[in-house]
Amino acid sequence: MPWDRNQMAERAAQELEDGMYVNLGIGIPTLVANYVGDKDITLQSENGMLGMGPFPYEGEEDADLINAGKQTITELNRTAYFDSATSFGMIRGGKIAAAILGAMEVAENGDLANWMIPGKLVKGMGGAMDLVAGVRRVIVVMDHTNKHGDSKLLKECTLPLTGAGVVDRIITNLGVLDVVEGGLKIVETADGVTEEDIHAATEATIV
């Protein structure tokens, strides 16, 4: 059985180590926070916060306290606030250990596309280009194929890039792959998924 959204998030949480400062993207990456267990992880929100807490209780929402997805959140006893230039200083400066984010396409050389589809509504890249360029380790969590059944792991991205050669590891519903010299390397398969299944679902070169 391929992994579901929560199992992908649970697997992604295994990438995180005690003491890490981490930025989580929108969608499945947000669920990763549910699976960090007792590891000491500090979440960064690029709108200007380290130490992001859970959603507030009803009636305790604060308009001055939101995450990068513009959702109301809470602070923790370790929280620090700062301005946007400082926030992206720590991102660009390589202070954030890992970013976990979604993608539309990943290429075998680590190119990532997740911000625009030509001809469709373009909303902008937000902080994604800064994150993938600056964070020390970039982990993509996404379905292995799109809704048409086509591979999202490609020889070359067809969509405009968010970053060139930036992805380190890809966690899909079928397993875990690393970007290595010459292509992608299967690190792990989901329960009941074989390496042959991954080969069959992948356009990118698997080495």
Convert 59-82 to b/e letters by CB count within 10 Å (16 or more is b). Answer: eeeeeebbbbeeeebeeeeebeee
Closest C-alpha among 45, 43, 44, 36 to residue 16: 36
Does the footprint of other proteins cover residue 111 (CB under 8 A)? yes
Binding residue for other proteins (CB under 8 A) from 19, 37, 160, 182? 160
- Report the 10 Å Cβ neighbour count for 121: 6
Tell me whether residue 162 or residue 173 sits nearer to other proteins (CB atom).
Answer: 162
46 annotated active-site = yes
Binding residue for other proteins (CB under 8 A) from 16, 20, 33, 49? 49
Site size for other proteins (CB under 8 A): 55
Using the contact rule CB under 8 A, the part of the chain among 32-40, 117-125, 136-144, 195-203 near other proteins is 117-125
Does the footprint of other proteins cover residue 1 (CB under 8 A)? no
Closest C-alpha among 159, 195, 155 to residue 175: 195
Rg (CA), the chain: 17
- Distance separating alpha carbons of residues 90 and 203, to the nearest angstrom: 35
Tell me whether residue 29 or residue 134 sits nearer to other proteins (CB atom).
Answer: 134
Minimum CB–partner distance for residue 161 and other proteins (Å): 5
C-alpha distances (whole Å) from 40 to each of 16, 97, 106, 126 are: 9, 13, 30, 27
Tell me whether residue 71 or residue 189 sits nearer to other proteins (CB atom).
Answer: 71
Minimum CB–partner distance for residue 68 and other proteins (Å): 8
Residues designated catalytic: 46
The residues of the shown chain that bind other proteins, judged by CB under 8 A, are 45-49, 54-67, 69-73, 75, 81-89, 91-92, 111, 121-130, 133-134, 160-165
